[in-house]
Structure 1
Amino acid sequence: MGAVRFMSLFLVALVSAAAAARTVAAAGAPPREVTVGALFTYDSTIGRAARLAIEIAVDDVNADRTVLAGTTLKLMTQDTNCSGFLGTIEALQLMEKNVIAVIGPQSSGIGHVISHVVNELHVPLLSFAATDPTLSASEYPYFLRTAISDYFQMHAVASIVDYYQWKEVTAIFVDDDYGRGGVSALGDALIAKRARISYKAAIPPNSNTDVINDVLFRVNMMESRVIVVHVNPDTGMNIFSAAKKLQMMADGYVWIATDWLAAVVDSSSGSKDLKYMSHIQGLIFLRQHTPESDTKNKFMSKWNNVARNRNISFGLNSYGFYAYDSVWTVARAIDQFLISGLQINFSKDPRLNGSNDSTLHLSTLEMFDGGDQLLQQLLLTNFTGITGPVQFDSDRNLVHPAYDILNVGGTGSRLVGYWSNYSGLSVAAPEILYQKPPNTSTSAQRLYNVVWPGDSTTTPRGWVFPNNGQPLRVGVPIKASFKELVSIGQGSDNVTGYSIDIFNAAIKLLPYPVPCQFIAIGDGRKNPNYDDIISMVAANSLDAAVGDFAIVRNRTKIAEFTQPFIESGLVIVAPASKTSSSAWAFLKPFTLEMWFSFSTMFFSHRICGCLNRGPKDGGVAAIVDEMPYVDLFLSKHCNFRIVGQEFTKEGWGFAFQRDSPLAEDLSTAILQLSESGQLQRIHDEWFSEPSCASDDSEVGATRLGLGSFWGLFLVCALICIFALVVFFVRICWQYSQYSNSEAADEPGAAAAAAAAAAAAAATTERQKRPTRLGSFKELIQFVDTKEAEIRRTMKQRSSDKDNQAAGPSDPHPVAAA
């Protein structure tokens, strides 16, 4: 026993001495080697490309004298075997080997588990393929994603959906952390674009063909034909194989696959026969964008040479690029860690000391003392790799996330555009747009033309009426009156009325069958609350509301309305005897609020009585209601008329749930009914002309004859006579003034004639001039003479008179020649 105890103490002392020597060596000079780990599945689409890329990256780092000079980067890998359980065990075994950083894992599920371990051991974890957005730095501070998060990818998908104006999508996803996290992010991104996931189809990991067929069968029963597939690359192609057999890759379908499909297509590009290509014709898929560069081309050339030398048949995918850059990220961070004089030391976790009796040997796990400092160096990373800028933002995401958007056609795929978090959809490469101001406006979004499934170049509508045997639930208000608009008889299908006829006619114009089930709302004794019915549509208790529903602001906020099938403005109705030009004066004492207080959703003999009695006898002066109701009322009561014009404008439409594609198709159908004249014919059938239109006794008070204007004629006549008298008096006065001015001019004229001629000439002149009173003919000539000419003549005569009066008194007469 004493010897055994002595040997134990000796071994402990020996180990302690070795550790001390290692510490001294580390303090005095950089270590000869540092060990990093790598976690991925060797035999997988992502793992095969990543494994070779990581090996090449380690070789390149060790060959580069500017990074880790004098220190060799040593790599230790563990195979996670595409299993969450085995992957976790392999990760723990890797932690036992005192690695100072881990590259991986590629699985988001394993990433969640192992992140708890590295948090405790202070070992940074750099994943090049775990894209689940819920792997956040706030929960896992030692987790660092060196690839693009699916948060951005799902925003790219949502932008594509919005670009083609689709409103509903079906999401097929693998039922694990990766799939659930991605679809959750997709739902949030679609909501921001006023779209939604209408159906989620979860596929358990490693499902067989029968399970996949069952899921696709349910998907095909849904109305959405825009299907987003977010699954694992190693089993995802089975979905398209099954979809092809179910004829779900035909015209009218839209398939969008996330970047997992790019990994499959790129990895298979080296194969002579890509057997799955025929199953995905017309499909759209995304791929992480990596800008073209010399560094990227050199790496691809080296990767292909090594693969060819090792007889590797699979190709390189974008995850291999991120794995390569991850190694360089770790190497640069370790280099700065050592340059700063920090040491690589490990220490026991005191919380694991009590687990010595456990067969799991948890006590062998040690904490990396410099883990926090190495993590800080990683967060300061800033270099240009083969994937572009390698730099982390405040949320620890790579800056400038971007994706290529590709369209499968023939034996390959073609680029139709890009998406970046900087400028959205574009046909220009993101690195070009980074040099310009960001522009995410709708007008700036652009993609090249796509060839859709079925070899169609026409953008699919994206939905059909669901083939699940469930009819459209149509809410119909049961009214107390105005049954011409909507009414229901015995049985829920016995629904008639103007609004119902238009709805049925529009449904028949749709290019797909839509079975309907009319649901009566109301007891028929009083009108139901229409806002409550619209709320039932918004709450998904009804699929649609059909009837006399006015399209008003508060309703459009919660429901989607079709194109109005009839205009409906408010008008004032008063007794016919009050609808003359004095009607407004008659209604002036009544405020608009008073008019509305008399407005009602139905008319009856009591309302007629109130209008006939008038406000002085306990009745009303007028009522205010919508034009269609008024038309129906006036068709039966001819002693009332509309006063003035409509003073509001709105319309009646059919209500659907927000962003329902059926509302858009019904709007198009209503426009077709209007263009063909069928809408007017339906209107004329229900809104007939008044039956008493030819009854003179009823409408005589409103007819306008000559007798209706005698007062106006009398006023006009009096005004004309008065104007004529004034004119005649004024003419006589002017003529008198004119004649007086002519008479006053005669003596001066006679004196001038006597000095220049004989008395006979003067006598002859007086014989030619008419008498002072003149003749009637002269008066007429005077009237025809322009007033300006008369004034000028009178002014001239006055001037001549003044000159003659001044002549004899001139002291210096001018001598005659």
Structure 2
Amino acid sequence: MGPTTTMQANFVIQLGDKAHVPIVTFSATSPSLASLQSPYFFQISQIDSAQVKAITSIIQAFGWKQVVPIYIDNSFGEGLIPYLTNVLQQANIQLPYLSAISLSATDDVITQELYKIMTTISTRVFVVHMSTNLGSKLFTLAKKIGMMSQGYVWIVTDSMANLFSSFDFTVKESMEGVLGVRTYIPKTNKLDDFGVRWKRKFISDNPTLVDTNLNIFGIWAYDATIALAMAIEKVGIGNTNFGYNESNTSSNYYMPNFEKFGIAQNGEKLSEALSKTRFNGLSGDFNVVDGKLQAPIFEIINMIGDEEKRVGFWTPNKGLARNLDRKGQISNNIIYSTSKNDLGSIIWPGDVYSISKGWEIPTVGKKLKIGVPVKYGDNYTEFLKITYDRSSNKTKATGFCIDVFKAVLHILPYELPYEFLAYAKPDGEMAGSYNDLISQIYYGNYDAVVGDVTIIANRSNYVDFTMPYTESGVTMVVSMKDNRKKNAWAFLKPLTWDLWVASACSLVFIGFVVWVLEHRVNNDFRGPPSHQIGTSLWFSFSTVVYAHREKVVSNLARFVVVVWLFVVLILVQSYTASLTSLLTVEQLSPTITDVNQLLKNKMNVGYLKGSFVYGILKNLGFPDSQLITYQSPEECNELFIKGSVNGGIDAAFDEVPYVKHFLGIYSCSKYVMVEPKFKTGGFGYAFPKGSPLVADISRAILNVTQGGKIKTIENTWFREPSCLNSNTDIFLNNNLGLESFWGLFLIAGICSLSALLIFLVTFLYQHNHIWLYNNSNTSIWRRFRVLVRIFDQKDLNCHAFKKSENKKESSDSPCSFEASPGTHCPPSPSSQTESNVSVYGDFSFSPNIEMDVVQITNQEVAPVNNCEINSQATANMTSSTFVTSSP
């Protein structure tokens, strides 16, 4: 029992493995010892690799993306690094640097290493894994050079956290704000009683020593001793039974004076019994699995002055938690937590509560070297313009991209010193393409690139981009043409052909319905067939312009006409509005709408010089002979005016921000954006791979673009295209289709059919003596013909006919109310039936009387209901065979 360090344990394990003697350590915690795979080695201490997940959870909780491990340069320190690196990388946390410090390093060497970390690495989160002696020296020197101030984060492993109480006051003061991870030892009465007894015994044996605190290694040593005693009792061996058998097998290792080893007779049994020992010790439940003590709960402490404060716990299944329940488990935490809300309040280095962002500018006083592109001449200076101030020897950048960048930096919660460096040749021209500019970050010449740089896939392989701050995509811009209809048939364009046909059919149908309803009761709808057809069509078509002169007298016809006039009102008003728009409002449409049209007709297209758009056009299949570059909106406009025939262009491809700027300069009646639109990431700022600035600046960009600040900047530098906010209809289609009016036609149709149905039912009911006549010799066709001929006659019972007849009698008879008394009045002409006889086939009867029932026989027709039958007509009827028993 008792190898206290990893190096000691490494040597002793080999001896125990050879002699079959159990080797028990309670202080050697390196995970590298487990790689020896000795069945006789027992680590009754918490193995270091068990805490790396707890450390990773803390780093994740505060959103830090980079960590620098600082460890002792020996087997103890190196044993943890592979495990820590693996777990951090799985959590997407980078390790830009590993700092190994020798145990024998002087103060100057340690200070030099700390300065190197502070001045060359942006990371400000450190994980320290080393012995207490070297760790104490590290923190004391770190405080002297300012690395224990605000903005720094220090996390120590259990190798120092377990012994925090043993540090002197100077070391504790220098470790103000440090977080520590150590194995959780529950407070129990058993532990308290043992602590009191141990302290009394320790003071009695060591009266000159001041430190009387029992640390975790003493607790593990006590539990290891109890476990070994229980194992010995279980095996049943005594002091006299520890015998050895001599072995002539030489050691596999070079060990002087140990060429021959004896093998313990009961070592294997004792080792097996120790593996199966279970009890409740001072450190909690004692359980050894594969030679390692299982103690899964860690506590997280915050070092504040001379005291330590517990801020939370960590377990493998639940992650972080602020408290444990009575059973020593995390409560109220269903899922694995890596949230800082599950930790208590923490005082960080510098005696502050504000959480560090985890990184700073690498060198004290150093400014970010920001590369900016140089535009050709004075073109597109609204986006970016570079001027060189020779007096101050500084590059000045202005424009939309720069203003957005400055607005973003203003939102950041920290200062970010920077300087602009123009990517230009001595003559002032740009030193290369935008891809070449991006590569300067990759090669370390620039710390960032700010400008109108588009986020595309191949560039993101070398740098990290922020969130875009402009619209994304590459689109096509073409010239416009006016589509106003100025030909002789323009008046037909407001309505589609299906609506014209539907309207014409509806007019004919309405004319028919009105004729049916008015034919028997209205003289205007009577007469020869051609006259009746003409009147019906004239009536229905004249309703379009409300010029119908014929009056309708039946209520059903009035109902149909009212509904139809409402339909006509809607149609006429819509037609008028659409025709006015077609003839007066500017109807703009693009001259080209399809890329294939450009390829098929071999038209020239333009693109901005030096732009990546060239690659897109080549992928689309455009040969170099059809590609023309331009360097300014003015040059692009001139190329459009020329056209492909004169060496110009018929379309241009450019990024959306440039196209909107182009449309802001020139009228939207001349040019327009059309599909296709190729996806790109928009304009963004570029930084080195893994730069911690990317996340902060991206969040700041979202704040700028989602607020009103971005609109203010755009209004400062650009004229917004009027067509994007106006009511000008581009690609306007004013043709009105049937889909917009079928509901009106449906209403009119239902009303008309309903009126026809009511009229038909009423007519058949009034003449049911015709179609219900029970003489089987009378065919249905004959009855139908009788009904049709009755329908063709006037309905003299109608109020309109009675009124007109009364007026006529009053005006023609000498016995009118104006005649003098005593005037002799002859019989009324209407009573002279021989002059007013209608003939229905072989029937003759007076039209003044409604024929309710007609009895048809082979020889006679007997009138009923006082119908006056003309004697001559009767003779004709009886002499003919209108109804016979044979054909």
TM-score normalised by length of structure 1: 0.64
| CA drift at 1:185 | 3.1
Deviation at 1:320, TM superposition (A): 1.4
Contact residue 250 and residue 260 of structure 2 kept, 8 A: no
Matched, 1:313 2:336: no
For 2:303 and 2:217, the matched residues in 1 are separated by 20
Tell me whether 1:106 sits opposite 2:4 in the alignment. yes
TM alignment of 1:423-502, pairs within 5 A: 423-429=318-324, 432-433=328-329, 439-442=335-338, 446-468=342-364, 471-474=367-370, 476=372, 484=381, 485=383, 493=395, 498-502=400-404
Residue 64 of structure 1 is matched in structure 2 by: none
- The amino acid across from 1:245 in the alignment is K
Superposition pairs of residues 180-199 of structure 1, within 5 angstroms: 180-199=78-97
> Structure 1 residues 241 and 764 mapped into 2: Cα distance closer, same or farther (>3 Å)?
closer
Aligned to 2:846: none
Question: CA-to-partner distance for each residue in 1:32-86, whole Å, 9 max, x for gaps?
Answer: xxxxxxxxxxxxxxxxxxxxxxxxxxxxxxxxxxxxxxxxxxxxxxxxxxxxxxx
Q: Contact 1:568–1:650 at 8 Å: present in 2 too?
A: yes
Corresponding letter in the other structure for 1:350: T
Q: CA deviation at 1:233?
A: 1.4
How does 1:8-23 map onto structure 2 within 5 Å? Answer: none
Amino acid at match of 1:499: C
Residue 597 (structure 1) aligned to one of 591, 608, 620: 620
Which residue of 1 is the match for residue 140 of structure 2? Answer: 241
Other-structure match for 2:179 = 284
8 Å contact 1:150–1:185 — kept in the other structure? no
Matches within 5 A, 1:677-756: 679-684=710-715, 686-688=717-719
Query: Do the aligned partners of residues 179 and 736 (structure 1) sit closer, same or farther apart at CA in structure 2, a change above 3 Å counting?
Result: closer
Aligned residues of 2:132 and 2:159 also touching (Cα < 8 A): yes
Please show how residues 212-611 of structure 1 align to structure 2 within 5 Å: 212-221=110-119, 222-267=121-166, 274-310=169-205, 311=207, 312-314=209-211, 315-338=213-236, 344-351=243-250, 360-363=256-259, 365-368=261-264, 371-393=267-289, 396-429=291-324, 432-433=328-329, 439-442=335-338, 446-468=342-364, 471-474=367-370, 476=372, 484=381, 485=383, 493=395, 498-504=400-406, 506-507=408-409, 510=412, 511-516=414-419, 518=421, 520=423, 528=433, 530=435, 543-551=447-455, 560-577=464-481, 583=590, 586-587=593-594, 597=620, 603=630
Distance change in 2, residues 1:255/1:588 (3 Å): closer
Structure 1: how far apart are the matches of 2:170 and 2:344? Answer: 27
Following the alignment from structure 2 to structure 1, what is the Cα–Cα distance between the partners of residues 797 and 319? Answer: 110
2:686 corresponds to: 655
Q: Distance in 2 between matches of 1:198 and 1:709?
A: 59
2:475–2:673 Cα contact (<8 Å) kept: yes
SS at match of 2:63: coil
SS of alignment partner, residue 352 of structure 2: coil
Give the greater-gyration-radius structure (CA): 2
Identity level (%): 26
Shift of 1:342: 9.5
Cross-structure match for 1:630 = 659
Report SS of the residue matched to 2:351: coil
For residue 43 of structure 1, what is the aligned residue in structure 2? none
Residue type of the alignment partner of 1:457? Y
Residue 343 of structure 1 deviates from its aligned partner by 6.8
| Aligned-partner residue type, residue 770 of structure 1 | K
The answer (yes or no) to whether the contact 1:479–1:528 under 8 Å persists in 2 is no
Q: How far apart in 1 are the matches of 2:807 and 2:454?
A: 81
Compute the displacement of 1:768 (Å).
10
Distance 1:709 1:217 in 2: 69
Give the Å deviation of 1:447: 0.7
- Cα pair distance change 1:441/1:352, threshold 3 Å: closer
Shift of the 392–803 alpha-carbon distance from structure 1 to 2, 3 Å rule, reads farther
- How far did residue 160 of structure 1 move? 0.9
Deviation at 1:117, TM superposition (A): 4.0
Structure 2: distance between partners of 1:348 and 1:679: 85
Match for residue 666 of structure 1?
697
Task: Give the total of aligned pairs.
Answer: 641
How far does residue 577 in structure 1 lie from its aligned partner after superposition? 2.2
Does 2:65 match 1:167? Answer: yes
Alignment correspondent of 1:136: 34
Cα distance in structure 2, aligned partners of 1:366 and 1:710? 103
Q: Distance in 1 between matches of 2:37 and 2:200?
A: 41
1:770 and 2:799 aligned: no
- Stretches of structure 2 lacking an aligned partner (at least 5 in a row): 484-586, 600-615, 768-795, 809-848, 856-861, 866-887
1:574 alignment partner, SS class: strand
**Correspondence for 1:22:** none
CA spacing shift, 1:291–1:223, aligned 2, 3 Å: same
Query: 1:426-455, CA deviations, whole angstroms, 9 ceiling, x for partnerless residues?
Result: 123385437999731446971111122333
Deviations 1:514-573 (A, max 9, x none): 23464749997897474x876775786754343334446777687543232212234332
Distance 1:577 1:245, change over 3 A: same
1-structure distance, mates of 2:184, 2:129: 18
In 1, the alpha carbon distance for the partners of 2:732 and 2:123 equals: 68
Structure 2 residue matching 1:460: 3-state secondary structure: coil
Query: CA, structure 1 residues 507+305, in 2 after alignment: closer, same or farther (shift >3 Å)?
Result: same
For residue 654 of structure 1, report the CA deviation from its aligned partner: 1.4
SS at the partner of 2:313? strand
Change (3 A) 1:260 1:578: farther
Indicate conservation of the 8 Å contact 1:349/1:367, yes or no: no
**Counterpart amino acid of 1:466?**
P
| Residue pair 1:551, 1:650 contacting (<8 A) in 2 also | yes
The Cα shift of 1:683 comes to: 3.5
Q: 1:502 to 1:353 in 2, by over 3 A?
A: closer
1:601 and 1:323 map into 2 onto residues whose CA distance is: 83
1:772–1:296 distance in 2 versus 1, CA, 3 Å = farther
Relative distance call for 1:768 and 1:529 in structure 2 (3 A) is closer
2:475–2:654 contact (8 Å) kept in structure 1: yes
Decide whether aligned partners of structure 1 residues 125 and 517 sit closer, same or farther in structure 2, where only a CA change above 3 A counts. Answer: farther
Letter in 1 for 2:210: S
Contact 1:174 1:232 in 2 (8 A): yes
In the aligned structure 2, how far is the partner of 1:541 from the partner of 1:671?
28
Counterpart CA distance in 2 for 1:135 and 1:426 is: 31
- Paired with 1:227 and 1:278, the residues of 2 have a C-alpha distance of 18
Between 147-156 and 293-302, the greater mean CA deviation after superposition: 293-302
SS of 1:362's partner is coil
The answer to whether the Cα contact below 8 Å between 1:353 and 1:363 also exists between their aligned partners in 2 is no
State the distance in 2 between where 1:489 and 1:370 align: 88
Whether contact under 8 Å (1:307, 1:313) holds in the other structure is: no
Any unmatched runs of 5+ in structure 1? Answer: 1-102, 695-701, 746-762, 776-799, 811-817
What corresponds to 1:97 in structure 2?
none
Report the CA distance shift for 1:184/1:668 in structure 2 as closer, same or farther (over 3 A): same
Alpha carbons 2:65, 2:93 under 8 Å: kept: yes
Name the amino acid aligned to 1:628: P
Q: Would you say the 8 A contact 2:319–2:338 is kept in 1?
A: no
Write the deviation string for residues 694-724 of structure 1: whole angstroms up to 9, x where unpaired: 9xxxxxxx9779xx999959x99xx99x99x
